[in-house]
Amino acid sequence: MEKYTEKVMEHFQNPRNVGEIPDADGVGTVGNPACGDIMKLFIKVKDGKIVDAKFKTFGCGAAIATSSMVTELVIGKTIEEALTISKATVAEALGGLPPQKMHCSNLAADALKVAIDEYKAKSGGKKEEEK
């Protein structure tokens, strides 16, 4: 049985920002077919800042906790700041994850990047790798 930190359990039991943003500026959907986790992250951007983020995740407790943590980490950040959030950032913010659950934090960080890329495409900006 994996040992989760108190913070992981707290975000799993009381996840923040669950739901959808109907008029989202960017939506990132990622999945890991191997474990069946699917994560959908919505961001709302105003004046270059992420003013709201919500998620819907189908998956294990760690996937839900990392989704919740990512939304908390990005709200109020600029797009550039949000792009610095990595899987390690998410895991550290949760006080660590069991090694076999690290892929869950990858999903949260990946969903964020996909949502930002969609926002940039919609707003006429270039994707990160095209700069």
* 104 catalytic residue (yes or no): yes
Pick the CATH number of 6-122 from 3.40.50.2300, 3.30.413.10, 3.40.50.1100, 3.90.1010.10: 3.90.1010.10
> 99: how many CB neighbours lie within 10 A of its CB?
8
pTM for this entry: 0.89
pLDDT of residue 106: 86
Give residue-wise pLDDT tens across range 26-62.
999 999 777 788 999 999 999 999 999 999 999 888 9
Check 45, 65, 104, 115 and give the catalytic one. Answer: 104
Residue 1, pLDDT > 80, answer no
pLDDT of residue 130: 46
Give residue-wise pLDDT tens across range 68-94.
999 999 999 999 999 999 999 999 999
pLDDT of residue 93: 95
* 35 catalytic residue (yes or no): yes
The enclosing H or E element of 45 equals: strand 37-46
Q: Sketch the domain layout of the chain as residue ranges.
A: 6-122
Check 35, 38, 51, 93 and give the catalytic one. Answer: 35
